Amino acid sequence: MFRKIFILIISFLMVLFVSCKEKRGVVTFAVGGAPNEIEFWETLVKEFTRQTGIKVNILRQPTDTDQRRQGLVISLKAKKADPDVFLMDVAWIAQFSASEWLEPLDDYIKKEKINLDAFFNKVVNLVDRYKGKVIALPVYIDAGVLYYRKDLLRKYGYSEPPETWGELVNCALKIQKSMRKTNPNFYGFLWQGAQYEGLVCNWLEFAASNGGGIIFKDGKIGLNLPSNIEALQFMYDLIHTYKISPPNTFTEMKEEEVRMSFQKGDALFERNWPYAWALHQSEDSYIKGKVDIAPLPHFASGKSVSTLGGWHIGISKYSDAKSKAIKFLKFVISYGTQKKLALKLGWNPGRKDVYTDQEVLKKMPHLAKLKDVFENALPRPNLPYYTQISEVLQHYINAALAGKLTPEDALSQAEKEAQDVIERYERK
Amino acid sequence: MGYRTFSELKESYAFILPLIIFILTFILLPVLGTFINSFFRDISFLQRKFIMFENYKQLFNDSGFWEAIRFTILFIVVSVPLEIILGLIFALILNQAIPFRGFLRACVLLPWAIPSAISGRLWELIYNYNYGLANFLCIKLGISTGPINWLGSSLGAFFGVVIADVWKTTPFVTIILLAGLSAIPMDLHLQAKVDGANFLQRFYKVTMPLLKPVLIVALLFRTIDALRIFDLVYVLTHGGPGGVTTSLSLYSYKYFLAGDFGYGSAVSVMLFVIAFTLSLIYIKLGRFAELGT
Amino acid sequence: MIEERFKSILIWIGYVFMVVFCLMPFLYMMLISVSSSPDFLTKLDNIEFTFKNYYSVLTSKSLHFIDYLRNSIIVSGVSAFFCVIIAGLGAYSITRLALPGKMLILFFVLAVSMFPQISLIGYLFKFMSTLGWINTYHALIFPYIAWILPLSLWILVSYFAQIPKDLDKAALIDGCTRWQILRKVIFPVAAPGIFSVSLLAFIFAFNEFMFALMLTIDYHSRTIPVGIALFQGLHGEIPWGNIMAGATIAVIPVVLLTIIFQRNIMQGLTRGAIKG
């Protein structure tokens, strides 16, 4: 009997070794995004292999940012050699760098003669550094912008887009009233207020343009500030008092919902990321040629603020093909590739110098304006546990927008819970 | 049976040993490990440290945790009775002499057979605001005047999850109840008929009492399964919108994702305690049910 | 006889409802998988059919769809096979051998089946990570076997208990060892039951999600439920056609098994539940 069991165990173990062994020394590139984006990466990778002879396998990831993070967290926590190089969302890059999962790039940058000044300095210094060392580089940048219907503004006698929130409200009220006569679905201002990360990005733009935002002092977080309360009250008023933002702003409105509504011609102003531009100008867009971009408005006493977004590229500390991976990274952030990303996908390159390229400017003329916006974009706190703080903020800001809490109550409770989070993660 | 020689004993244990080893190594050990880990600060970007009950203290002040408990309990309270009632109806029908019973049985089994993750994607499409089946039917059948925002509203998402889960798990309840129904001897029904009972009375006086132990089994199985729900909420709603459909399992998972294995472990331990308590109740009740029959 | 009529009508309504309730989502899934655009319900007069979705899903290399399917089948098959053997040995011991503490073992196993998966995965992940098994077949097969053992044990105990012990006694007298009895007497007699348990074990392993989600990374060992859950389609903005085509292919194995062997499956499930 025992001989039989022995044979059983041996055959069991043999079956296990049928499973594929991971190839050594091949660069695996993990990237997600919309299907058309991944298709484009595939062509890029083929070209890279043609140029350098280095083989790169694409590890296809989902579109959603949390799902992309999950795939990476599992590999990195298990210290796997694959994927070697991958893209990271600004929102959680700090978690990766603080967990020491990213390979420091300074030596490679020197060796491969990568010019750091070609990139947006503020972005690199605020996001891509950990303990002084560079651990990632920007592939593309995002920052909130104001889209506006230049045809409608002209028609109603406005020569410039509004610079303050007050001006925006007055302008929107007047035009909305008139437009409602023919289009009952018309709204003055669309923005993302649903309970998700995008809400924090929107809120920051309101609050920081009033001198507020997420403030840190002596290790304590400050949210319950007069500037924040005023900003949150304003956001509430946009929906419930002035009614220039639709009632489903805080239940459904995310990037795509806002974009599609604006693109149908149902709004005057839109707050969205730059990606919407290419879609607004597409052949079947109702607003083709009628829209323009401007920096976001600010409160009377403040300055215009855009929240920084975007994806950065880094190399795994456990990669078994680092020297090859760095060549691929260099390829992705090279001028040529960045220009292609701009022209083909409508992305905003991480390299400053592409913004003055004639061909790019012809296709995306608004990039000239955006360059300034990006240079001064406000990053979210670069903390490894930022996503937990964000969840607290999302919950309470949305509750205030829904009218369940007053702005002051919401912010003071958020401050308390966020402080608990900080204490948990900052305790030595 | 009953030989108590040492070699016989050795043999009996040898046969059961592989099973014990597997369960010990790959179930008990991980549970223990997770339990121990919950007393540590195990975060990917911080130094590992023994912090005793700190994770648990944080848990009790964590509004997200209580929201997860609220959702999980609400989910159980709403979906389990629905499954039982629907399962009972289906079982009653399957117990009749109907044509193509095999076909009906296969139909009923199909929802149970497919992976819950795939069923999640399927229902994600069904609940699509613009062109999903659910809104199409709701409008066509006059249930609502306009499209319902299933996945984008709290109420819609909750019932979306409930309906999808009921669809998937009713087959299981049906099978169990059907077995219970077919175990009821025909004579009892015939006798009751002779005594002048109509089928409603027969149902209440004959069927239900004899079905009770099986109902309890189904109820408890489903309750514990509903408690652990993960696949469906992960795929269908990702716990949204805004965390309203985050089950305890999903809540724990979110912390694993953020690199905080210690806190996630603590949440999963709480879920374990609840599940374990319920299963003890189940075993106790199951014993009484057996004694009853 | 009005009552009989009333009852018949109710039964027929129920019958139709059952079929529609259970099958409609599947039909919808298949319909979308062959339409050129997922919003065909809004344009009922303009339905276009195409097999493009299936073609893209099956031939797109970076998608690794076939790999997921292959991984699922291998992992489920191997897990089911060994699970049934181990459970068979255990069930034999419990039903026929002098095993002190057998009731304890049975209830222990029952309790274990109630554990939430999430309470395991935290440490299981570290465990697998230390062994270097993340993203391999082993990482899934071993936990699957352990995870499906409780149910398999209960079902097999229920089947074995019904086999008369005289068979054993007769064989013992003939000089067989316990192992030979198991192989030559019990297994053949309990074959249908063992088959049912294998089916159930395969289906459970095939459908498992959480372990596969956290213990695999890519096409080397990722299984199809995770593949479909994370699938975003191949072209277009919201390519449900692709996703449904993938889903349809993915469920073919279990659907076929269920349709063909529904009797066995129902029997197995019933045994597992009622005995407990």
B193-228 pLDDT, tens digit per residue, is 787 777 777 777 778 888 888 888 888 889 999 999
**Cross-chain CB nearest to B258 (options A95, A248, A420):** A95
Decide if A13 touches C, using CB distance below 8 A: no
Better-predicted residue by pLDDT, C185 or C158: C158
CA torsion through residues C3, C6, C10, C11, sign = positive
Compute the nearest-CA separation of C215 from chain A (Å): 8
**A398: chain B residues, CB-CB within 8 Å:** 242
Asked if B269's CB is within 8 angstroms of C94's CB, the reply is: no
Contact status of A1 with chain C (Cβ, < 8 Å): yes
CB contact under 8 A, C220 and A22: yes
DSSP string, B141-186: TTS-SS---TTTSHHHHHHHHHHHHHHHHHHHHHHHHHHHHHTS-H
- Interchain contact, B64 vs A385, CB within 8 Å: no
When the pLDDT of each residue in chain B is averaged and rounded to a whole number, the result is 87
- Residue C276 is predicted with a pLDDT of 47
Chain A closest-CA separation from residue B64 CA (Å): 9
Query: What was the pLDDT predicted at C115?
Result: 92
Residues of C136-172 as b/e, b for ≥16 C-beta within 10 angstroms?
bbbbbbbbbbbbbbbbbbbbbbbbbeebeeeebeebe
Nearest to C42 among B3, B131, B275 (CB): B131
* Beta carbons of C207 and B15 less than 8 Å apart: no
Pick B275's closest partner by Cβ from C41, C116, C143.
C116
Q: How far is B170 from chain A (nearest CA, A)?
A: 30
Of C90, C98, C266, the CB nearest to B19: C90
* Cβ contact C240–B3 (<8 Å): no
CB A19 within 8 A of CB C221: yes
How far the first Cα of chain B sits from its last, in Å, is: 27
Q: Which residues contact C248 (CB under 8 A, 6 or more apart)?
A: C29, C30, C33, C54
Residue in chain B lying closest to C249 (CA): B118
pLDDT in 10s for each residue of chain A, 428 residues: 556 556 666 666 665 555 445 556 689 999 988 777 888 899 999 999 999 999 999 998 888 888 889 889 999 999 998 899 999 999 999 999 999 999 999 999 999 888 888 999 888 988 899 988 999 999 989 899 999 999 999 999 999 999 999 999 999 999 999 999 999 889 999 999 988 899 999 999 999 999 999 998 888 999 999 999 999 999 999 999 999 999 889 988 888 889 989 998 999 999 999 888 878 888 888 999 999 989 999 999 999 999 999 999 999 999 999 999 999 999 999 999 999 988 888 788 999 989 999 999 988 888 888 888 888 899 999 899 998 899 899 999 999 999 989 999 999 999 999 998 898 888 76
First to last CA, chain C: 41
| CB-CB neighbors (< 8 A) of C109 in chain B | 19, 23
Domains identified in chain A and CATH numbers: 23-142+309-375 (3.40.190.10), 145-305+385-426 (3.40.190.10)
Residue indicated by tokens 């912090």: B51
Mean pLDDT value across chain C: 87
Q: Which chain A residues are closer than 8 Å to C85 by Cβ? A: 8
Give the whole-number percent of chain C exceeding pLDDT 90: 46
Averaged over B8-26, what is the pLDDT?
Answer: 87
What residues in chain A have their Cβ under 8 A from chain B's Cβ atoms? 64, 66, 69-70, 73, 77, 95, 98-101, 194-196, 248, 251-252, 384-385, 387-388, 391, 394-395, 398, 417, 420, 424-425, 427
Residue B241, min C-alpha distance to chain A (Å): 7
pLDDT for residue A275: 81
CA distance A212 to chain B (A): 24
Q: CATH 3.90.1150.10: does it fit domain C62-274?
A: no
Looking at residue B293, what is its pLDDT? 47
Q: What confidence score (pLDDT) does residue C235 get?
A: 60
Query: What's the pLDDT at C24?
Result: 94
CA angle at residue B220 from B82 to C25, to 5 degrees?
A: 40
pLDDT of residue B72: 96
Number of Cβ atoms within 10 Å of the Cβ of C177: 12
Chain B contacts of C33, Cβ < 8 Å?
none
Strand partners, A308: A143
Check whether C160 has a pLDDT greater than 50.
Answer: yes
Given an 8 Å threshold on Cβ–Cβ distance, is A252 in contact with B152? Answer: yes
Flag if B242 and A394 touch (Cβ within 8 Å).
yes
Q: Among C44, C118, C156, pick the best mutation site for testing chain B contact (most B Cβ within 10 A).
A: C118
Q: What is the model's pLDDT at position B274?
A: 92
Q: Which residues of chain B make contact with C99, given a CB cutoff of 8 A?
A: 12-13, 16
Question: Considering only CA atoms, which of A191, A189, A232 is closest in space to residue A214?
Answer: A232
| pLDDT at residue A369, rounded to an integer | 81
Higher model confidence: residue C71 or residue C183? C71
- Give the bridge partners for A148, in sequence order: A269, A292
Residues of B in contact with A384 (CB under 8 A): 44-45, 259
In one letter, which amino acid is A161?
P
Q: Tell me whether 0.95 is exceeded by the ipTM.
A: no
Could you tell me which chain B residue has the CA closest to the CA of C239? Answer: B125
- List all chains that touch chain C, counting a touch as 3 or more CB pairs closer than 8 Å: A, B
Question: Once rounded to an integer, what is the mean pLDDT over residues B39-56?
Answer: 88
What is the Cα A123 distance to its own chain's centre? 13
Unique residue bearing structure tokens 């076997």: C145
CA distance A240 to chain C (A): 32
3-state secondary structure C204-252: HHHHCCHHHHHHCCCCCCCCHHHHHHCCCCCCCCCCHHHHHHHHHHHHH
Helix (H, G, I), strand (E, B) or coil at A147: strand
CA distance to partner chain A, nearest, from residue C265 (Å):
26
Q: How far apart are CA A204 and CA A404, in angstroms?
A: 20
Among C residues 197-226, those touching chain A with beta carbons less than 8 Å apart? 214-215, 217-218, 220-221
pTM, full prediction = 0.88
Report the pLDDT averaged over residues B122-139: 88
Q: Determine, for residues A42 and C231 on separate chains, whether the beta-carbon distance falls below 8 Å.
A: no
Instruction: Suggest the residue from B5, B26, B172 to mutate for an interface test with chain C (most C CBs closer than 10 A).
Output: B26
Report the residue of chain C nearest B261, measured CA to CA: C122
* Rounded Cα distance, A204 and A212, in Å: 8
Q: Provide, as residue numbers in chain B, all residues whose Cβ is less than 8 Å from the Cβ of C178.
A: 11, 15
Chain B positions touching chain A (beta carbons under 8 Å): 41, 43-46, 54, 58, 61, 63-64, 149, 152-153, 238, 240-243, 256-260, 263
- The answer to whether A38 contacts C128, with C-beta atoms less than 8 Å apart, is no
Closest of B253, B210, B208, B250 to residue B233, by C-alpha: B250
Closest residue on chain B to C205 (Cα): B115
Contact state of C259 with B106 under an 8 Å Cβ cutoff: yes
Q: Which of A15, A36, A74 sits opposite C78 (nearest CB)?
A: A15
Is domain B58-122+169-292 given the CATH code 1.10.3720.10 in the classification?
yes
Domains of chain C, residue spans: 2-46, 62-274
Closest by Cβ to C239, choosing from A16, A22, A35? A35
Q: Which residues on chain C are in Cβ contact (under 8 Å) with B253? A: 118, 210
Specify the pLDDT at position A46: 94
Region of B46 please: left (phi>0), alpha (psi -120 to 50) or beta: beta
Q: What is the pLDDT of residue B1?
A: 47
**Contact check, Cβ <8 Å, C251/B115:** yes
> pLDDT band at residue C187, thresholds of 50, 70 and 90?
confident
- Yes or no, beta carbons of B228 and C118 under 8 Å apart: yes
pLDDT at C237: 52
Residue of C65, C76, C218 for testing the chain A interface, max A β-carbons within 10 Å:
C218
Contacts of A38 in chain C (CB under 8 A): 62
Q: Under an 8 A CB cutoff, do B258 and A388 touch?
A: yes
